[in-house]
Structure 1
Amino acid sequence: MNEYQPQEQLQNATLILILGILSIIGCFCYGVLGIILAIVALILAQKATKTYAQNPEMYLGYQNVKIGKILAIIGLVISVIYMCLVIWLIVTFGMEALQDQELMQQRLEEMMGQ
């Protein structure tokens, strides 16, 4: 006998998708915001995946979880690369040069002259 069980939305599925999108946008905040949002999205996605795996026919919205997880991974990678770039720029040119365009140009000319 097959009993009909109404499907319910997988908890945090839409939130995971939104956090995945925001992690890509957040990478331009020196990478920090993107890393934080991506990690939160990945943790929530892991919990949602475990819940879905226990009883897949009971839940809707797993596609949002998968897409959000992929976007969070992309956002994490881009954020780490961007953060490494910012750290390299600060170490190479100094924080003052990043804030002053003329000083940055002078340091670039010095670097190219060596």
Structure 2
Amino acid sequence: MERQQLPNSTLILVFGIISIITCCCYGVIGLPLGIIALVMANKATTVYAADPELYTGFQNVKTGKILAIIGIVLNAIFLIYVIWMFATLGSDGIQQMSEDLMRGMNDGMEQ
């Protein structure tokens, strides 16, 4: 019997990678992608455990699951940080801080 690719193994890996890459997007993009990748990885692990000789690509699922967990943690930390920033500084304080940062960067480049 010919071995077939485990369903969604590549997609799980891609979602795990994207969840890490997008961790600085306020947690809005990466957090759902990480959760979706984790759920899909758990389903693929169940399918693989039922008949391991029938499927290939389990390494992609394991790697994608690890990356999804890392992405979820990073996105959750960043989301908590953003919520904390808005709660303590407010939107005006954050805008002022970013303007000061940009002004400092411009002054550094002019020198």
Q: TM > 0.5 between the two? A: yes
- Going from structure 1 to structure 2, the CA distance change for 1:27 and 1:6 (only over 3 Å counts) comes to same
Q: How many residues align?
A: 101
Q: Which residue of structure 2 lines up, in the alignment, with residue 17 of structure 1?
A: 13
Q: What TM-score, normalized by structure 2, do the two folds share?
A: 0.85
Distance 1:51 1:101 in 2: 50
SS in 1 for 2:33: helix
RMSD: 1.7
Distance 1:47 1:7 in 2: 18
State the 1:100 CA deviation: 2.7
Distance 1:37 1:51 in 2: 21
Query: Which 4+ stretches in 1 moved above 4 angstroms?
Result: 102-105
Shifted more, 78-87 versus 96-105: the winner is: 96-105
Q: What TM-score, normalized by structure 1, do the two folds share?
A: 0.83
Q: Write the deviation string for residues 63-101 of structure 1: whole angstroms up to 9, x where unpaired.
A: 000000000000000000000101111111101221233
The AA in structure 2 aligned to 1:64 is N
Gaps of 5+ in 2: 102-111
- Which of these two proteins has the greater Rg computed from alpha carbons? 1
State the 1:26 CA deviation: 1.6
Q: In the TM superposition, what are the counterparts of 1:1-114 in structure 2 within 5 Å?
A: 5-101=1-97
